[in-house]
A and B are shown apart, each in its own frame.
Chain A
Amino acid sequence: MDRDFDITRIREAARAAGMGEALSRRGFLLLSASTAAAVTALGLCEALGADAPLVILDNAKGMILADPTRCVGCQRCELACVEYNEGRSQPSLARIKISRSLNFGPGGPGGAQGAWGNGLVVQGVCRQCPHPVPCATACPNDAIRLDPATGARVVDGQACVGCKLCQRSCPWNMLVFDEETQKTTKCFLCGGSPKCVEACPADALRYVPWRDTTREAPARAASLSLITPEKTASCLECHVPGRPGTVTK
């Protein structure tokens, strides 16, 4: 799908991010976190049209940090996540992941962690990935969007069609599919006051300013990113082939 991409919006974003000079001098923009923020703040994506592929999400403002050496495996975080949000008790739906590491660690039966191993429970938490956000990019219906309050990547239940492609795209298996609603859900930071953090009886969870932790832990699973041609085309609108990390027009 061809789309008319208005460079003036990029220029505005660059100026807002204090990079206007760089842009005018070099004719392209280094796509930094701050420019991405500005792009979002200016509503660039929306300005591109209602059916525009959603590619760029602002960085999150906060994230949940988990300390495995403190985790006592009680699952109170999982229960708080679902009980206080959905009003039912269902750890399988939790957007923080304890159950899967509880017995043997992420390696499964025979693994060296968990209650049957060395006792360590490595919590699974959403990293609120920076651009390109795997789950949001994978969504064919642009249902994973930015919560303006926290910058959390949140599933818009109205828009989610239940295809589970986002689930397959997450390297850390952090999205969950609610069989009851037939929608996916993921960590939305509870609007800035995460229930899991509040519920931890061992002070193992903290809500801290966001930073990129996506390169610090190995992926749990090979991810499958099926990205629509429209979206891949829109990548090329900013990133020049042969010149990685650039935005141009």
Chain B
Amino acid sequence: MASATGGFAGKVLRVDLSTGAVSTESTVERYLDVLGGTGIGYRVLWDEVPAGTGAFDPANKIVFATGVLAGTGVPCNGRTAVTTIFPTCWPKPLVGSGHMGGQFAAKLKYAGYDALIVEGKADRPVWISIRNSQVQIRDARGLWGEGIRRATLEISREMGGECAVAAIGQAGEKLAPMAIVANSVSHSAGGVGGVMGSKNLKAVAVQGDGAVRLAGDKGEWERLVKFHLSILGGNNQHVVPSFPTPQSEYYNPGSRWVGEPGRRWGAAEPPVEITGNIRDLNRIAYRTNSAAFYLGANAWQYTVRGNGCTGCPIRCHTIVKVPSVAAKYGVGEMGQNTCAGLLFGRGFFRKLAAGDKSHTSLEACMLGMHLADDLGLWCNYGQLQRDLIKLYYDGTLKAKLGAKEYDSIPWDKYESGDPAFLLDMIPRIANRQGELGAVLSQGTAGLFTAWSITERDWSQDKETAYWKMGHPKHHANEDDGQCGVIINTQYNRDAQCHSHVNFVRNGLPLAVQKRLAAETWGSPEAVDAVGDYTPANVYKARRAKWALIRKELHDSLGLCNWMGPWVASPLKERDYGGDDSLESKFFSLATGLKTNREELDRMGERIFVLHRALTQRDMGEPDLRSRHDTVPDWVFKDANGAAPFSKGTTRMDREDIAKAMDLFYEVMDWDRATGAPTMEAYARLGLQDVGRRMQALKLTPGTRG
């Protein structure tokens, strides 16, 4: 199979910061069986980073890896997975990945590399310069202490304005576990900034001028790309608009396809009015406006345009211009981000957090983005903000902090919802100032270790949205019942999986979703209406498996799992069906390696199971079911006491979830009692070497003393 003639850039770059050695290896020869992205990341950690390695130990490695479809014209590519021993994972660091978009992935490919492995630790601050085949370790002493914005500017002056710079801010330099690395203004990977800081690595800058080869016929490639475009919806593959229109049979107010004709990018000069047919492929970029979706229709007037990753027509990083922010708070008037990054500022305030769409809320978001994306502070999917709210209002902060420190914080501004509070709080955490900064910059793990708060305190309180291991839920039962729960048990950080939620929240009527579910997962029972759940069944377990596999596949192909997979479409003429084999078709054409959906899914499963083995090996734990795949208590509660499976509640039933996990382990070919992959599963996935090692460690089923 090792005759790929396209897709792969060809090499994996390795930089040892301890010795200064720079080397390359063949991607296809060494990593073809794990594709790229998280696959390469997990493989490197499995092969090269011993169990027990701390996140900030020089022995930890950080792997920036993209995939065969990054840098091409496949819609919704542009992703880089940053895999390492993850510092916010509690009670001990385990494997995890941050994921970033922007220009970095494409530039890395054009420079000739599918991945960059950074190992060791430099003896002084450095940045890595990659200009095609020229790779240098450069002195970053002059950049140390600077924010991401200035570091990027200074490096761009040296590299040229077209390069992509992935840099850390002060938070990463100070080894805050809650630190990001960011490129292209607003595209960040959470949790990994401190690992870069621990290696004295300020930034990686890439300029590439070369090509990603396409093995297949260019006409066929063009047709497939155009087909893919035709089945796209708006952000998160919401395939119906949020507004009624004669151009669509259905609409759904919850849809992120908000670009209604008549709306305007009000801050463009001159403003751009959305006109024409919403289905026009030359107008896909107007469908999504994250600012308007999250901050209300008022945000349209501040919208300059959509922005986003290389090659993606969706443009979920909305650029907004809010002059009042510059006037009031002395920061830049421009901002851009999506989703949790966009809401970074608002989320701190109890008054604003719950969907407030006032101008104050918008200003808080602008200020939050400006500070966090420069200082390089991570939000842990909003957990940081929720933690601060809980800690303040339940009196913990007053009890834990010294009076001097506590009184130095402008709580009056906090309570009144004054965005200026963020000018104090965000730098305090990012710079790890005082007790509060030292603790909160560790994430929720910091509360458990430094302030003897128990995990139970958090996992019982639905308001925290806390799931486990220091991280929150990420599209769990509130979106997708048992499927969401299963998925949220599987990772060592918040589950960065969107395969499932992109389907259940796509806006189509339930009957249509059920028909598509029957076609894709074998039964209409694979999907329920949100908040109207039925008991667990094997089809839901299959869908959970599919979702996890596709998540890893996307993360290993350079595709966006915030947009894919594409099993549904806006096309009535296709009965709203998409194409579940799209990834394999693109893979075949790009690489010249003929594959199909089943075969590629098997590769995705291999990557997912490698993550499982790595997790289990580093935990040294035979029983993952009870020690890892846990569900917080709040999932089994309802504020109004509604019973599970009654309409309107997202409350789950303990026995039913236990059954859901049974079914999931079965479809995964894992041991039901322990949730550990069986030797048969390892063998079926071509992971015999991993299986043998796990067996030797007595971590496979039946090998326990």
Contact = CB atoms under 8 A, between A and B. Distances in A.
Interface of A: 69-76, 79-80, 82-93, 99-100, 102-104, 108-111, 114-120, 179-180, 198-203
B71 interface: yes
Interface stretch (B152-160, B242-250, B290-298, B440-448): B152-160
Give the interface size bracket for B toward A.
35 or more
B282 A69 contact: no
Contacts of A93: 211
B307 A72 contact: yes
5 contacts: A70-B268, A73-B305, A75-B310, A109-B156, A202-B284
A70 B214 contact: no
Interface string B291-316: 00000000000001111111111010
A76 B313 contact: yes
Nearest to B149: A116
Contacts, number: 151
B680 interface: no
Contacts of B309: 74
B184 interface: yes
A38 B305 CA distance: 44
Most chain B CB inside 10 Å of its own CB: which residue of A80, A119, A200, A202: A119
Contact of A104 (B109, B161, B212): B161
A116 B71 contact: no
Interface stretch (B59-67, B269-277, B477-485, B665-673): B269-277
Interface of B: 6, 71-73, 103, 106, 109-110, 149, 152-153, 156-157, 160-162, 184-185, 208-214, 217-218, 221-222, 225, 229, 265, 268-270, 272, 276, 280-286, 304-313, 315, 319, 321, 334, 336
Contact of A100 (B162, B283, B311): B162
Contacts of A88: 6, 211-214
Given A70-B305, A83-B222, A103 B214 contact: no
A89 B218 CA distance: 11
A93 B268 CA distance: 29
Nearest to B7: A89
Given A73-B305, A76-B313, A201-B281, 18 more contacts: A69-B268, A69-B272, A72-B285, A72-B306, A73-B308, A74-B311, A75-B310, A76-B311, A83-B72, A83-B225, A89-B73, A90-B209, A90-B210, A92-B110, A92-B208, A93-B211, A119-B307, A198-B282
A201 B6 CA distance: 26
Contact of A103 (B161, B218, B269, B282): B161
Given A76-B313, A83-B221, A110 B153 contact: yes
A88 B213 CA distance: 5
B34 to A, nearest CB: 22
Nearest to A205: B282
A120 B304 CA distance: 8
B134 to A, nearest CB: 15
B321 A110 contact: no
Contacts of B72: 79, 83, 89
B308 A89 contact: no
B269 A69 contact: yes
Contacts of B311: 74-76, 79
A143 to B, nearest CB: 23
A109 B161 contact: yes
Contacts of B276: 203
A69 B6 CA distance: 35
Nearest to A85: B218
B305 A71 contact: yes
Contact of A87 (B71, B152, B221): B221
Nearest to A109: B156
Contact of B218 (A74, A87, A102, A114): A87
B70 to A, nearest CB: 9
B163 to A, nearest CB: 8
B156 A104 contact: yes
A100 B156 CA distance: 12
B282 A203 contact: yes
Given A74-B285, A119-B334, A103 B162 contact: yes
Nearest to B160: A108
Most chain B CB inside 10 Å of its own CB: which residue of A82, A89, A114: A89
A110 B157 contact: yes
Contacts of B209: 90, 92, 179
B371 to A, nearest CB: 17
B313 to A, nearest CB: 4
Contacts of A86: 218
B212 A111 contact: no
B3 to A, nearest CB: 18
A83 B73 contact: yes
Nearest to A88: B211
Contact of A201 (B160, B184, B217, B285): B285
Contacts of A201: 229, 281-285, 313, 315
Nearest to A202: B285
**Nearest 6 pairs of A and B residues by beta carbon:** A201-B313, A87-B218, A90-B211, A79-B73, A202-B285, A89-B212
Most chain B CB inside 10 Å of its own CB: which residue of A109, A111, A118: A109
B307 A115 contact: yes
Nearest to B333: A118
Contacts of B308: 72-74
Most chain B CB inside 10 Å of its own CB: which residue of A71, A83, A180, A198: A83
Contacts of B268: 69-70
A248 to B, nearest CB: 48
Contact of B157 (A79, A109, A179): A109
Most chain B CB inside 10 Å of its own CB: which residue of A70, A79, A117, A180: A79
Contacts of A179: 209
A82 B71 CA distance: 12
Given A89-B212, A119-B319, A180-B211, A203 B283 contact: yes
A122 B72 CA distance: 22
B76 to A, nearest CB: 11
Nearest to B213: A88
A105 to B, nearest CB: 8
A202 B283 CA distance: 5
